[in-house]
Structure 1
Amino acid sequence: MSACGGSPGNASPEDLDARLGEGTGTVEFWAWAAGLDVIVDRFNEIQDDITVELNSSATGEEAYKKLDTAVSSGTGPDLAQVEYSQIPSLAISGALQDVASLDAEFAPRYLETNWRQAGFEGGRHYGIPNDVGPMVMYADLELLGSAGLEAPATWEEFHDAGLELRDATGARMGTFLQTAPFVAALAQQAGARWFGVDGDSWIVSIDDDATRSVLDFWIRMVADGVVALNPGFNTGFWQELDAGDCATYTVGAWGYRGMKGNLEATSGRWSAEMLPRWSTGTEANGMYGGSAWAITKSSRNIRAALVFADWLASSPEAMTLQYEHSGYYPAATDPAVVPGYSEPDEFFGGQEVLPVFEGAMDAVDPGWSWGPQMSELSAMIQDRLPAAVAAGDSSEYLSGLQADFVASLRNRGLAVEEGR
């Protein structure tokens, strides 16, 4: 895989053995998820073998640059929070440690699709998957009902219902989130494969039929006044939802946390629904977000880091604490142990959301994989999207994205072929 750039986390057996540790001692942990200080304190309280020291890191590109630099200088942590989309880049740069020979014992506690998220081409694996974001649609049933509508089952029904809702109430059906993960998740649901590997080359297929079809559909919905283009997660966005000016919120399952923290007037009106399908009878889904607890090349205590990471991601106590503090939906096999998912939820009108979340996870397309330099690609997707919406067509947008991104990867010394 050398032509794909750098070392994907390999180490000599002697080097790896020297850094395994005895499963005890101190673990330095860099992460940004809300409430981790409480959860780490709890872990340190209930056992004496391992002491975890948490460094609450920045999020996004800043966090990954800091992590890469620290590992390169030998001052990085044992364990770090890494989004699945960033694993290929950090593996290629040499920041992550392949622990496939060490962490397999933990795999049965996680859904297979989720376990693969913490890995990379060639059977490499870099730690423990913690949280996932199967796409769901949160629907304001009262607002829809005021126009004689129900939650739509297909995207065409979504569009048509949006026209009726617009004419009857002036409200919009949903929001076209101006984020790369949103675009990627919808493309994944439609069967897109943006990245692949053939021998020593990356295959990049951003400009494919599935992605073009998805974007053209959403661009048409903006033109029809059914949805609005918005970055989301801002004050105005939440105010619009709480005022009954927008009937749905399409996002990863974790989106409920922001809703509960920002929506008061519409509490009790919402329902968690499966994502509308692209065709009748075909159940498919995409993933918006998710992260792993990844072992870094700096770790001198790999066994202890894995033990803690597994407890954090799969123990009922830690999963429940994550539900309460961050809203992360677990990658582990049994989210039912978290009462918040398996009991009636007043915010959702007494609905038990777990069956929807589990159905959404079951429908995720397992064939999707991420590629290198996703931070760069994400910025390109988001910055150029308004112009594509204004143009009313995605063809130039996608062809330009693919051409410019492929050129950038080649300038970095990566072997790249264009797919379609």
Structure 2
Amino acid sequence: MSDPSPPSPARGASRRRFLAAGAAVAGSALGLSAMGGCSSRSADAPLELTFWAWAPGIEDVVALWNERNPDVQVVVSRQDAGDAAVTKLLTAVRARNGAPDLVQAEYQAITALVSADAIADVSDVLEAGTREHFAEGIWSSVNLQGDSIYAIPQDTGPLQFYYREDVFADLGLDVPITWDDYAEAARAIHEADPAMHLGTFSSADPGLFAGLAQQAGASWWQIEGERWTVAIDEEPTQRVAGFWGALVEEGVISNEPMYTPQWNAALNNGTQVGWVSAVWAPGVLEGNAGSTAGSWRMAPIPQWDRSTAATGNWGGSTTAVTTQTEHKEAAVRFAEWMNTSAEGVEALVTKSYVFPADQHSSAEALSDPPAFFENQPEFYAESTANAETVQPFTFGPNVNVTYSVFNDAFALATQARSAEAFTEAVTTLQERTVADLENQGYTLA
């Protein structure tokens, strides 16, 4: 993600606006709403909203809105995803020129965009029932402090467990319910065939590791009044790191980074027979493991506590309204329609091919499983149930730094093949994340 810092002249003011109590933040947003709005357009011309987005087919989704809302037309401006989108938006906001009314924003980018005063608190204009469409864990990513809401969730990526059903059957193994079960299955599979692994630990995917820590109960950043706390180097994340480090040290899972030619080949040739991934994994498996079609199944992610269902999230995005729009309420109405109405959500599923964050969706497109999982007709119903158990998690304003440190620290840890090196890498994440926040001028509790 891009550098989240606002320009030097406005830096202190932006940070104070974000770190102040929720009422002060809401007051700032109300001021923006009063500056403009739908009443500013001429009587004979439609209000026009600009929407920066990158989702495939998003133009077709927006076209449905435009057809039914002639007085409020949304114009899509296609952007690059990820860091590039954040950088471009921050540049436009800082220049106070060219920022859109709405923007597609990944969950991990929300806090940085709020800190830079780029996206608005929309809690004052939300419809009363909007909150009820989303699981608590997903909503927590846009509800950063108090009652302030900074975006409407669009799609999500609950973590799930994918495994070769035929291999488990041949070896007489049960699907793991707990992480202890997973470790035992990994040992049994590797013992049966030393070339075979149940999974890998990828040092190139901090988003997956964050989701695993989220499942264990971690929330790496928190806002306490006007101060940040960083809680990476605590028991939940250390537990996760120690668990995976021990399996790598034991040799019963691989340490190959994901999406490499070697990893792709392992999926296809049957030497990797399991994968902890998100709801979007079927597309990856179909592209990389075509020869194994029909032999995979999905199950809930293994649990730390057998009696409590929990998962984390990896991926997904939101629809946010920028602080520089003059039509805040109209922008929110569009964002709510797209992400919570039956018509809007079904369009997202069928046109943009996303797994919607809306838990109330009955989109017909979700009634059929992904092609690669045609042997599991209930795939999306089970995925929706899994998404309901996503745990709350707050991203910080310097998540880009933390993710970069993860790549370096865990690359060394996986090379060392040592559980101790994994837990030490977590401490490194904590120390460097704190140091970067302090260097940027944030106040820490």
TM-score by length of 1: 0.91
Whole-Å Cα distance in 1 between the matches of residues 278 and 343 of structure 2?
A: 23
Contact 1:27 1:52 in 2 (8 A): yes
Contact 1:83 1:290 in 2 (8 A): yes
The superposition leaves residues 66-124 of structure 1 with CA deviations (integer Å, 9 ceiling, x where unpaired) of 11111121221111111122111110111111111011435155125133322221221
Aligned to 1:19: 36
Kindly indicate whether residue 104 of structure 2 is the aligned counterpart of residue 86 of structure 1: no
Secondary structure at 2:233 match in 1: coil
Contact 2:130 2:336 in 1 (8 A): no
Tell me: CA distance 1:300–1:325, structure 2 relative to 1, closer, same or farther (3 Å): same
Aligned to 2:404: 379
Aligned to 2:9: none
Tell me: CA distance 1:126–1:108, structure 2 relative to 1, closer, same or farther (3 Å): closer
TM-superposed CA distance for 1:185, in Å, is 1.0
Tell me: CA distance 1:401–1:344, structure 2 relative to 1, closer, same or farther (3 Å): closer
TM-superposed CA distance for 1:46, in Å, is 4.1
Secondary structure at 2:255 match in 1: strand
Tell me: CA distance 1:229–1:55, structure 2 relative to 1, closer, same or farther (3 Å): farther
Contact 1:132 1:291 in 2 (8 A): yes
TM-superposed CA distance for 1:237, in Å, is 3.3
Structure 1 gaps of 5+ residues are none
| Greater fraction of residues in strand | 1
Tell me: CA distance 1:239–1:21, structure 2 relative to 1, closer, same or farther (3 Å): farther
Moved more, 208-217 or 396-405: 396-405
Tell me: CA distance 1:192–1:3, structure 2 relative to 1, closer, same or farther (3 Å): farther
RMSD (Å) for aligned C-alpha atoms: 2.4
Taking the TM superposition and a 5 Å limit, the aligned residue runs for 1:98-113 are 98-108=121-131, 110-113=133-136
The superposition leaves residues 353-400 of structure 1 with CA deviations (integer Å, 9 ceiling, x where unpaired) of 13321331232223x222221111111112221112233123321222
Structure 2 gaps of 5+ residues are 1-11, 19-24
Contact 1:100 1:124 in 2 (8 A): yes
Match of 2:251 among 200, 225, 250: 225
Secondary structure at 1:119 match in 2: coil
Whole-Å Cα distance in 1 between the matches of residues 127 and 413 of structure 2?
A: 44
Match of 1:271 among 280, 288, 297: 297
| 1:241 partner amino acid | L
TM-superposed CA distance for 1:25, in Å, is 1.5
Match of 2:17 among 7, 11, 14: 7
Tell me: CA distance 1:278–1:206, structure 2 relative to 1, closer, same or farther (3 Å): same
Secondary structure at 2:201 match in 1: strand
Whole-Å Cα distance in 1 between the matches of residues 438 and 31 of structure 2?
A: 34
Secondary structure at 1:277 match in 2: coil
Among the aligned pairs, what percent are the same residue? 29
Whole-Å Cα distance in 2 between the matches of residues 416 and 212 of structure 1?
A: 22
Kindly indicate whether residue 171 of structure 2 is the aligned counterpart of residue 150 of structure 1: no
Contact 1:311 1:318 in 2 (8 A): yes
TM-superposed CA distance for 1:14, in Å, is 4.2
Tell me: CA distance 1:395–1:4, structure 2 relative to 1, closer, same or farther (3 Å): farther
Secondary structure at 2:291 match in 1: coil
Segments ≥4 residues shifted beyond 6 Å:
none
TM-superposed CA distance for 1:41, in Å, is 3.0
Match of 2:429 among 401, 404, 417: 401
TM-superposed CA distance for 1:214, in Å, is 0.7
The superposition leaves residues 215-254 of structure 1 with CA deviations (integer Å, 9 ceiling, x where unpaired) of 1111121223332234424554333223222112212223
Whole-Å Cα distance in 1 between the matches of residues 328 and 53 of structure 2?
A: 17
Aligned to 1:165: 189
